[in-house]
Structure 1
C-alpha cells in the first residue's frame, strides 16, 4: 500500500464516540441528542462519525458490563450519562477519555477528586441543583408548606447528595424533608403512596429511578390530591406541576462541547468540570388543576414554558 493510499485510509477512519446512560427517559435522551447535535455541527457526522448508545436499563450491574464492553471496543471517547453510568465507565477505563454528563455530585460519586483540572482521563458536566431555589419555588405554589416528601433511590449517589442539600436548605426555612426510599422502579408508586398524609407536596429530584417511573408518582398525586413537583423540566410535560431546572438538551450541548475539545486534542484531565448553565421554569396548569393547586399569576408571568 502506498503512503498516499495509507494516508487516505487513516483519514477515512471515523471518530468513534460510545455513549451510555443508566436508563432511557426523556431527560437523558435529550442529553444524548444534544451531544450528537454538537458533534454534527463540528464536522463529526455521516461517514466521519461512529456514534453508539447502550442503556443499562436502570441496573448498575448492567452499567458495569456495558462500560467494560465499551472499553474493549476502544472508542475515541466514552460519554457516560448520569451518575451510575459515569461511575461504571470511570472504573472500567484509566486510559480512554471519559466524559460524564448530568452527574450531580462528581466528587461525592468519586468520578473525579477535583472539579478543577481533574487529572487522569475523566472530566464532564455537573447538574447539581440549587436546593434553596427549589424549596422557595415550592413555597410560592404552596405557601403553608412545612413538609416535603422526596421519593428517591438511596443507591444513587446523586440522589443522596440532593437529599442532603435539601435538608440543609430546609433547616433554615422551617421545612421538614421526609424521605421515601425506592430502590427499584417497581417501588416508586409504593414510595409515593407512603408520603400521602405525611407530606404537603411530593418533590421528585433528578433521580433516574424515580424519573423513569414518574407516571406512578403523578397518579398518586392526582388520586390523593397531593401536589407533585420536580427538578427536571422534562418531567413537567409528563405531569409534574412545575420545575425550575435545566434544559437537558442544552446540557447535552454543553457536554458535546467538551467531547469536541477532546477529539481535537485536549486531555480530559486538563479540562475543568463544567457546571450546568441556564435555569428554566416550566409550569403545567392542567396538572395543577388536577392536583388542586391554584397557580399564582406571578409564577405564570415568570414561566419559560406553560403547558396547558
Structure 2
C-alpha cells in the first residue's frame, strides 16, 4: 500500500511540474519612450547607466524606444506620435520642446521631464509639490540663475556695454530673454536678442552678432549644440553658458546645475513610476547645487585677464 501511494505521488508530481513552471509569472519588461529635443548621446547614456545602477538590465527588464530631434523642433510632434503609438509604460522627455510635444499626444501615459525650465508656466504641472496630472520630473532653475550669470559675465568683462543673448525657437526663451534684459539693465548692460531657430541658423546669427559689435554673449540653455562654443571663439566673444559641456569644449565659462545629474534623476522617477507611483503625486525636483566653471585657456585665447577674485569663486577651473 505504501509503495503504491509513493508511486502515485511521484506520478502526480511528474505531471504537475510542467504546469507549475508555466504558472510562474514572467519578468516584466518595461517599455520606456525617450524623446530628446537635441542629440541623444549624453543624456540617454547617463539615463541608462542610472537605470543599471538601480538594478535594471536593458533588453531584459526594460527596452527603450528613442528619438532625437537634434535641435529641429519641428520634428518633435511626429516623433512624439510614434513613441506614444508604441504604448510605452513611461516616457522621458528632454527639455521643454520635447515635453510639450509628448504632452500633446497623451494625457494618460506617465511623462518624466528631464528637465523643464518652467514646468508651471509651460502648463506641464499645477505645482512643484503636487503636479496633479501625468507629468512630473526635474526642473533646471535656469530662469532663476540668469541674473547671477550676467553678474559673473560682467565681472569678467567689466568694460562691456552690450551683451548678445543667443536664443532658439524654444518656447521658454522669450520669457527668459525678458529676465536677462532686466537683469542686464540692473548692472548697466544692454541685452540684445538673437534667435537661431535651428542649428543651421547659427553661423548666420553669429555674423549678425559680430556686425552689431556686441562685446559678450549669454547663451540660453537649449538642446546641446557644440558648434556654439567654436563660433563664439571665432567671433572673439567672451561667453557664459548655462551648463558646463560648452566649457569642456573651449567655451569661456558656465554657471548652472550638473545637467547629467538631472538625467540621473529622471531614471529615479522612472523607477518610482514603474513600481506604482503616480506622476500626480511625485513632487517636481529642483537642483540645489550650481557650479561656476571657468576655462583659463579660453580666457587667454580671448586676451582676457581674469581677476583672482573671480578665479577663487570658480567651483572648477580648466587650465
Name the TM-score, length of structure 2 as normaliser: 0.86
Of 194, 197, 218 in structure 2, the residue corresponding to residue 183 of structure 1 is 197
**Structure 1 residue runs without a partner (length 5+):** none
CA pair 161-30 structure 1, distance change in 2 beyond 3 A = farther
How many correspondences in the alignment?
298
Write the distance in 2 (CA, Å) between the matches of 1:60 and 1:201: 27
CA distance 1:216–1:271, change in 2 (3 Å):
closer
Choose which of 240, 244, 251 in structure 2 pairs with 1:229. 240
2:91 aligned residue: 78
1:80-128 CA distances to partner (integer Å, 9 max, x unpaired)?
A: 0011111011111111101111211122322224333111211111112
TM-score of the two chains, using structure 1 as the length reference: 0.89
Q: Distance in 2 between matches of 1:136 and 1:40?
A: 40
Question: What are the Cα deviations for residues 250-297 of structure 1, in whole angstroms up to 9, with x where unaligned?
Answer: 111222222211121110011122112321121111211222212222
Deviations 1:138-160 (A, max 9, x none): 0121122332101211x211222
Residue 249 (structure 1) aligns with? 260
Q: Counterparts in 2 of 1:139-158, with a 5 A limit?
A: 139-153=154-168, 155-158=169-172
**CA distance in 2: counterparts of 1:162 and 1:128, whole angstroms:** 11
**Structure 2 Cα separation of the partners of residues 109 and 307 of structure 1:** 36
Classify the secondary structure of the residue corresponding to 1:51: strand
RMSD across aligned C-alpha pairs, in angstroms?
2.1
Unaligned runs of 5+ in 2: 1-17
Aligned to 2:69: 56
Corresponding residue for 1:5? 22
Q: Distance in 2 between matches of 1:271 and 1:193?
A: 45
Q: Residue 133 of structure 1 aligns to a residue in which SS?
A: helix
Equivalent residue runs for 1:127-276 within 5 Å:
127-129=140-142, 130-153=145-168, 155-196=169-210, 197-208=212-223, 211-212=224-225, 214-216=226-228, 218-219=230-231, 221-276=232-287
State whether residues 225 and 292 of structure 1, in contact with CA within 8 Å, keep that contact through their aligned partners in structure 2. no
Indicate if the aligned counterparts of 2:150 and 2:218 stay in contact, CA closer than 8 A. no
Q: Would you say the 8 A contact 1:227–1:292 is kept in 2?
A: no
Q: CA deviation at 1:40?
A: 1.5
Name which one, 1 or 2, has greater alpha-carbon Rg.
Answer: 2
Partners of 1:296 and 1:7 in 2: CA distance: 68
